[in-house]
Chains A and B, each alone.
Chain A
Amino acid sequence: MSVLAEKVITRDWHKGANHTLDGYQKNGGYEQLKKALTMAPAAITDEVKKSGLRGRGGAGFPTGLKWSFVPSLEKNTKPRYLAINADESEPGTAKDRFILENDPHLLLEGIGIACFALGAHTCYIYARGEFKHPSAVLDKAIAEAYAAGIFGKKLMGTDFELNVYQVRGAGAYICGEETALLESLEGKKGWPRLKPPFPAVVGLFGSPTVVNNVETIASLPRIFEKGAEWFMKLGTGKSGGTRLVTVSGAVLRPGTYEVSMDTSLRELIYDKAYGQGLPEGRTVKACIPGGSSAPVLTADELDVKLEFDAFKPLQSMAGSGGVMVMDDTACMVRCLWRVARFYAEESCGQCTPCREGQPWMARIIRKIEEGRGEPADLDTLVNVAQAIAPWPPIGLGNTICALGDAGALPVQSFVQKFRKEFEDHIAQKRCPHGETPWGVFGEFK
């Protein structure tokens, strides 16, 4: 069993007032920003590169490398921006919200470090609109930081000006996609942009912009406290740090846990420190490992470590750390229908394969679930999905943004791995699970 050697993100959460500036500073808060401000900006980026920190928003992109794509001031004199992605809307994912609620200053300190490294004098934190409480805690923390002279004209007393603003979204999953997020920050509807150019070169208001996830940036203070090597060693040697993951569905103790990347999915589901297994008599039928966009895994595929590269051989992904567990009594057709409805609803409508394909897939799956399916439907379903994004491998999408893939991959993986269930629905002209499609905890009590 892989034990968590040291906590990174959640370390101080049990210490009462950690969400206030006072409490945070009692726990050593803002010392790392002070330290970083004595370093050369390029040295900060180097340290982040050495730490092996990779993006926690879903793609696992190396953070230091992303920062280094921002052109030098000689080449591009426009202002630089940092945009924090606190949109957290990938189904199955519930982690950034807890950082905002329990440790907002950890994020703010990380923002100070990142902005100084990037030469960015403005940071926008884009929080999903439904986060009323987390956003209120964050607003208070930002106000505290200004009042204490941490942010503002003089970042911690230096000559570096830094302004940090929270902007709240208004209910659109697509605004988590980084270029849609930038459009939304510019006051528009969330229509993703064609890439390249990438945001690091042409981002917010046409300026170089780094977009990073909340958990990514909240990792920075610890990297500067304990050193890049320490952080890398906590991880896998190729990827540094720990991960916040959320296990939900059929487990006895659902919740959000900080785990070592050495932890396997099986441990997360069964270990007494985490999910504590399923109710007696029940077994895992399926597991979505990294938010609903990640291709589904079967019970035979749970020995994979919760690390970014480990999912590649399984043609799935570690994604955003949202682990959803379905037990042997859950209906795979019903589960996939719900997932497909989500992508149909959230497609921004800009590209034809996604706009037409996602609702089409949802309609076919519904038809099968309701007992009206025909044998040819399964092939049509897979063909539609493949027209949006063939799979495997991951990353072949034909659309402007990866929402296309995100909707197409679950369909292909569910049909490939649970084809018999779809065929049974069609042959029996009904859902074999009848009124109880959601498995062991599916009843509202």
Chain B
Amino acid sequence: MAEPLFTADEQKKFDAGIAELLSHYPPDRKSAAMLPALRLLQTMHGWLPPEGMQQVATRLETTVARAYEVATFYVMFHTKKPGKYVIDVCTNLACALRGAEGMLKYLEDKLQAKAGENGEKYFLRETECLASCGTAPCLQVNEDHHENLTKAKVDALLEKLS
């Protein structure tokens, strides 16, 4: 049998989280909580597995199809299990003018990864402007933001990823 999505404690936490989110919206607008609910699921589970999507849809009184429609529209939602470290590198213009393409190449070489391809340990991706234009180049590791990057700083950062 497949492992259950949550332990009993986690399930309680998830349900409480959903209840709190629903209280932010009019009672007849439960499905409005879709983005925060998917975020909660992803924060707790690491990604959005089908059983979790079913739970979100049920709690929000909508269909699983709707949940997937939303989940696949937004790049931060993972409907497939991502590598342990999702590394998003901004290569938009302001960062590109400060070496972002070289930084991406540097990461590809160091991590033996190809941008855009999901791996067991790393999921290295190009991303769009992260509002670090005056502090470029930048990247995010599992949503943690790092800016004003140099080779030395990237080296130090990667050392911490075991």
Is the C-beta of B92 less than 8 angstroms from some C-beta in chain A? yes
Q: Known contacts A167-B35, A171-B75, A187-B35: does B91 contact A338 (CB below 8 Å)?
A: yes
Q: Is the CB of A445 within 8 A of B97?
A: no
- B133 in the interface, Cβ–Cβ < 8 Å? yes
Answer whether A254 and B145 are a contact pair too, CB < 8 Å, given A170-B39, A438-B101.
Answer: no
The answer to whether A326 touches B97, judged by C-beta atoms less than 8 angstroms apart, is: yes
User: How distant is B44 from chain A, measured CB to nearest CB, in Å?
Assistant: 15
A438-B99 CB under 8 A given contacts A132-B144, A187-B60, A324-B93: yes
B134 touches A445 (CB 8 A): no
Tell me which of A170, A188, A250, A292 contacts B38 (CB under 8 A): A170
Q: Name which residue of chain A comes closest to B95, CB basis.
A: A248
The number of chain A residues with a CB under 8 A from chain B is 60
Q: How far, in Å, is A54 (CB) from chain B's closest CB?
A: 21
What B residues does A94 contact at CB under 8 A? Answer: 131-135
A172–B92 CB distance below 8 A: no
Q: Which of B29, B73, B101 contacts A189 (CB 8 A)?
A: B73
Q: Which of B35, B74, B136 has the most CB of A within 10 A?
A: B35
Return A341 CB to nearest CB of chain B, in Å: 9
**Which of B60, B132, B150 lies in contact with A445, CB distance below 8 A?**
B150
Closest to A172 in B: B74
Check B102 against A255 for contact (C-beta < 8 Å): no
Compute how far the CA of A442 lies from the CA of B91 in the bound complex, rounded to whole angstroms. Answer: 12
Q: A130-B76, A169-B35 are in contact. Are A255 and B131 (CB under 8 A)?
A: no
The residues of A with any CB-CB pair to B shorter than 8 Å are 88-94, 96-97, 128-133, 163, 165, 167-173, 184-190, 205, 246-250, 254-256, 288, 292, 322, 324-326, 330, 335, 338-339, 342, 345-346, 438-439, 441-445
Complex: chain B residue closest to A207, CB-CB: B26
B77 surroundings in chain A (CB, below 8 A)? 170-171
- Measured between C-beta atoms, what is the minimum distance from A1 to chain B in Å? 21
Least distance between A397 CB and chain B CB atoms (Å): 21
Alpha-carbon separation in the docked complex, A434 to B91 (Å): 19
**A residues within 8 A CB of B137?**
444
On chain A, the residues within 8 Å of B133 by CB distance are 91-94, 246, 248, 254, 322, 324
Beyond the given A91-B93, A345-B128, could you list 16 further A-B residue pairs with CB under 8 A, ordered by the A residue number? A89-B128, A97-B131, A129-B39, A130-B130, A168-B36, A169-B74, A170-B75, A187-B34, A249-B97, A325-B97, A326-B97, A335-B93, A342-B128, A442-B96, A444-B150, A445-B150
Q: Which of B66-91 contact A (CB under 8 A)?
A: 69-70, 73-77, 88, 91
Bound-state Cα–Cα, A208 to B132, Å:
34
Q: Note all chain A residues with C-beta closer than 8 A to B105.
A: 444
Cα A330 to Cα B98 in complex, Å, equals 11
Please determine whether A186 and B129 come into contact, CB atoms closer than 8 angstroms.
no
Given A132-B143, A173-B128, A255-B134, A187 contacting B70 (CB threshold 8 A): yes
In the complex, A172→B97 CA distance in Å?
23
A90, A189, A342, A439: most-surrounded residue (chain B CB, <10 A): A189
With both chains docked as a complex, state the minimum distance between the C-beta of B114 and any C-beta of chain A, in angstroms. 18
Measured between alpha carbons, how far is A165 from B36 in the docked complex, in Å? 11
Cα–Cα, bound, A150→B77 (Å): 34
Most A CB contacts (10 A, CB to CB) among B127, B131, B140, B144 go to: B131
A172 to B60, CA, bound (A): 22
Residues of B within 8 A of A439 (CB): 97
Interface membership of B103, Cβ < 8 A: yes
Asked whether, in the complex, the Cβ of A91 is within 8 Å of the Cβ of B128, the reply is: yes
Residues on the B chain within 8 Å of A165, using CB? 24
What are the residues of chain A within 8 A of B134 when measuring CB–CB?
94, 246-248, 254-256
**Interface residue B100 (Cβ < 8 Å from any Cβ of A):** yes
Q: Roughly how many angstroms separate A171 CA and B75 CA in the complex, as a whole number?
A: 5
Residues of B contacting A288 in the complex (Cβ-Cβ under 8 angstroms): 93
Can you spell out 23 A-B residue pairs with CB atoms less than 8 angstroms apart? A91-B129, A91-B133, A96-B131, A130-B145, A132-B144, A167-B24, A167-B35, A170-B74, A170-B76, A172-B73, A186-B29, A188-B69, A248-B134, A249-B98, A256-B134, A325-B97, A338-B93, A342-B128, A439-B97, A443-B102, A444-B99, A444-B137, A445-B99
Question: With the chains together, A246 CA to B129 CA distance in Å?
Answer: 13
- In the complex, whether B113 has a CB less than 8 A from a CB of chain A is no
Q: Are B93 and A92 in contact (CB under 8 A)?
A: yes
Are B97 and A129 touching (Cβ within 8 A)? no
A205-B33 Cα distance, complex, nearest whole Å: 13
What are the residues of chain B within 8 A of A247 when measuring CB–CB? 134
Contact A188 B131, beta carbon cutoff 8 Å: no
* In the complex, residue of chain A having the shortest beta-carbon distance to the beta carbon of B29: A205
Nearest-neighbour CB distance to chain A for B8, whole angstroms, equals 27
